[in-house]
Amino acid sequence: MYLHSVEAVNFRGFKRLKSEFKEKFTILCGPNASGKSSILYAIAHAYSHYDSDESTLDSETAIKVEITNKENEREFIGRNRGSFESNGYRNSNLRNFSDDFFPGTSTLVRASSNNYKKINFFFIGPQRTIDYRSIQGMVKEPIVEDSQQKYCISSVKSLKCSVTPNIKQWIINRYFIIEKDWAEIERKNWTVLIEYLDRISDGNKIFKYLRTGKDLEPLFNLDEKEVHLEQLSSGYKSICSIIFSIVEWIESTNKDSDALIENATGVVFIDELELHLHPSWQIKIKNVLTDLFKSMQFVVTTHSPHIINDANKNELGILDNPDNSIIVNFLDKGLANWKVDYIFSDIMGFESNSENAIYETIQKVEDFISNKQYSLAIEEVDAYEKFSHVNDHLPRYLKNKIYRLMEVEGVDNND
């Protein structure tokens, strides 16, 4: 199961949209409103025939997604021109399921309503919290085919966050079944997941699952304190929501050994991966996901320089918008040694406050030096130094330069 590319025309206000994807991890980044989420929505609309009113679509809209499906067949799925009709803003309807050629190409696009049978896509929107729910007991879990269809149907709504998985119910179900003889897959996955939790802890804090009691309330050890699931911080709830929901999706949409964490294949899409995560988590979240889900492909969007900083060669896709289109250009090198300010300016397209402050200070100091106003130049450096980091060498460099020039000019330091 592998996602190769997506292409769309007349989609969500963009004339054209096009992106390829990498084998393990693709990080999409760019300025606000550059179309990062639109790429995920295009794939969701090609996969699911529900909720077409969540995007601006009309009779000229066409979407083409290239995949290698679960049966190792390479194919194109999507929607062709004439598939949608628009009755006004946020009032689009899917009109037909006709296989046809993508506009301007000889590529035949399959427009099936049964994509879930051959494709495993899972969409996670930006709202990742765990609200309190009273659990009354174990709930029967649906058969695989029903779960596959459910996840396909809810793809667009999952991105929009109007559908979120019931993490707590899944944990309670595991409490009841993992000791059963027939629950070998669930038991193995639960063991892997619980042992892995401590690796996602924030800094040097302890984070472990403790138990589920008679009241059916899961308890965690957070830095030697017992904390209920819903009382975890936003960051812990966000990362638990991501990881637990992926495992739940894997188990519910696969059979036999394919439902094991280490074997499961498919594509996980996460919009705004960094939300609610402390920078220490943002730095390692990519490795957490790829280490735990070794056979899974991930496509994520982000504004975080820490996540961008962790991109390997050809994993970072930078969005550009020529002629109201979305084009994704991949960087042919990693960014591990880039400073955050460079990522802001060169990758995300704006100067950081610190970069601007440095530039303005240097310019003012140089102007004062040019006019031989050395005392004003020193005052400017002193003003900058009050708000600079203790390891910032710029103040010392500028003052040494000023003092050398004063010495050459024969100007007293006290003048």
| 353 phi/psi in degrees, rounded to 5 | -60, -40
**Which residues are 78's β-sheet partners?**
64
pLDDT at site 94: 67
Q: How many percent of the chain have pLDDT more than 70?
A: 90
| 226 pLDDT above the threshold of 60 | yes
Calculate mean pLDDT across residues 238-252: 92
pLDDT tens profile 208-220 = 999 998 899 999 9
pLDDT at site 89: 66
| 269 pLDDT above the threshold of 90 | yes
| 189 pLDDT above the threshold of 90 | yes
How far is Cα 295 from Cα 267, in angstroms, rounded to an integer?
Answer: 10
| 99 pLDDT above the threshold of 70 | no
pLDDT at site 290: 93
Beta strands 267-270 and 14-20, pairing class: unpaired
Q: Tokens for 258?
A: 């394919």
Q: Tokens for 323?
A: 């002629």
Cβ partners under 8 Å of residue 44, min gap 6: 121, 123, 155, 156, 158, 159, 269
| 415 pLDDT above the threshold of 60 | no
pLDDT at site 413: 66
- The answer to whether the beta carbons of residues 145 and 106 sit under 8 Å apart is no
**How many Å separate Cα 99 from the centre of its chain?**
32
Q: How many percent of the chain have pLDDT more than 90?
A: 35
- The answer to whether the beta carbons of residues 346 and 39 sit under 8 Å apart is no
- The answer to whether the beta carbons of residues 311 and 27 sit under 8 Å apart is yes
Provide the 3-class DSSP secondary structure of residue 137. Answer: coil
Least confident range from 6-10, 166-170, 389-393: namely 389-393
How far is Cα 45 from Cα 168, in angstroms, rounded to an integer?
Answer: 29
| 352 pLDDT above the threshold of 70 | no
Average pLDDT over the chain, rounded to an integer: 85
Burial class (CB in 10 A: 0-12, 13-18, 19+), 71: exposed
pLDDT at site 299: 97
pLDDT tens profile 8-59 = 998 888 999 999 999 899 999 987 788 899 999 999 988 887 776 677 777 8
How many other β-carbons are positioned within 10 Å of the β-carbon of residue 189? 22
| 112 pLDDT above the threshold of 80 | no
Q: Which residues of 211-226 are buried (b: 16+ CB within 10 A; e: fewer)?
A: ebeeebbbbbbbeeee
176 band by pLDDT with thresholds 50, 70 and 90: very high
User: Rg for the chain (alpha carbons), in Å?
Assistant: 26
pLDDT tens profile 367-379 = 888 788 889 999 9
Least confident range from 30-34, 197-201, 279-283, 350-354: namely 350-354
Least confident range from 22-31, 241-250, 373-382, 386-395: namely 386-395
Calculate mean pLDDT across residues 231-259: 90
pLDDT at site 228: 93
| 325 pLDDT above the threshold of 80 | yes
Calculate mean pLDDT across residues 120-135: 87
414 band by pLDDT with thresholds 50, 70 and 90: low
- The answer to whether the beta carbons of residues 19 and 4 sit under 8 Å apart is no
129 band by pLDDT with thresholds 50, 70 and 90: confident
Provide the 3-class DSSP secondary structure of residue 161. Answer: coil
- The answer to whether the beta carbons of residues 6 and 39 sit under 8 Å apart is yes
170 band by pLDDT with thresholds 50, 70 and 90: very high
- 375 compared with 359, residue with greater pLDDT: 375
| Amino acid, single-letter form, for residue 221 | N
Least confident range from 2-6, 58-62, 288-292: namely 58-62
- The answer to whether the beta carbons of residues 43 and 77 sit under 8 Å apart is no
Calculate mean pLDDT across residues 309-326: 90
**Which residues are 2's β-sheet partners?**
68
pLDDT at site 91: 60
| 245 pLDDT above the threshold of 90 | yes
